[in-house]
Amino acid sequence: MSTMSIRSWRKAELLRIDEIIPAEDIEEPRLKYLLASLREKKVLHRPIIVEHRKMLVIDGHHRLRALEASGAKLVPVILADYRSDVRSVGRWMYIGSWSIDRETVLKRGLEELEHLVKRGGSRKIEAKVRNETMSIKADRLDAYISLKYSELLRRVMNELSKVPFDEGKCRSSEICLSFPELEIDDMYRIPYTSLLPPRSTLHETSLKEIEVPFKLNDLGGRF
């Protein structure tokens, strides 16, 4: 019997750090904050949630990178089944107030993104500025990956509030930028493409509520 077949999907366990595949990039300020916190407390309370088939990170990219930066050899994880443990992959939206400069940059950013994304997708990247709506059809996964190369759009997004997608809030906001919701099959394609931008997905799963403290000294590394 293989090691994988006898693993419990509800029990936190230690895996080698090189077994785990990240799906998203990280935000440097958040990583620095987490590193400082880990070095002070020397305990990791929340295991990283990992999809059991492809070993993709579902939740905990910054924790994983912090452990890696500290030289850890082992990572506490909870193995999850995408089909039964994840209710949805979810998505975020960016909302805020209107300004002429931001509106101009947003429009130019969408034009820039349109040159980067693959055509033929059935889902839309949508932006609403007051009563005007703009959209681009693109492959779902490629829409997120291409975003990493659009400096204009990222400039706008840095000035807006990032919140879970809500159609009503999107309609009532002066500016609303949203990307298509990813599906499980999209996530399985990530190891063969490129990492998503930081915090692209919003996995809904009760496994995030599990807390199991692990002493960092037991993980190896320099703590």
- 82-136 tens-digit pLDDT: 889 998 888 899 999 988 888 889 999 999 998 988 766 678 899 999 889 999 9
CA atoms within 13 A on the CB side of 120: 2
CA angle 32, 37, 42 (to 5 degrees): 130
DSSP H or E segment with residue 134? strand 132-138
Please report, for residues 163, 173, 209, the alpha-carbon distance to residue 92 in angstroms, rounded to integers and kept in the order given.
Answer: 6, 14, 20
Query: In the structure encoding, which two tokens stand for residue 164, read together?
Result: 């879970």
Q: Which pTM does this prediction carry?
A: 0.83
Q: Which fold has domain 4-87+202-219?
A: 3.90.1530
User: What pLDDT, on the 0 to 100 scale, is given for residue 122?
Assistant: 72
Question: What distance in Å separates the CA atoms of residue 173 and residue 49, rounded to the nearest whole number?
Answer: 33
Q: Give the position of tokens 């599990």.
A: 210
Query: In the structure encoding, which two tokens stand for residue 95, read together?
Result: 């909302």
User: What pLDDT, on the 0 to 100 scale, is given for residue 30?
Assistant: 92
User: What pLDDT, on the 0 to 100 scale, is given for residue 223?
Assistant: 66
Contact (CB, 8 A) for 75 and 197 = no
DSSP H or E segment with residue 53? none
With a cut of 50, which residues of the chain have pLDDT below it? 1-9
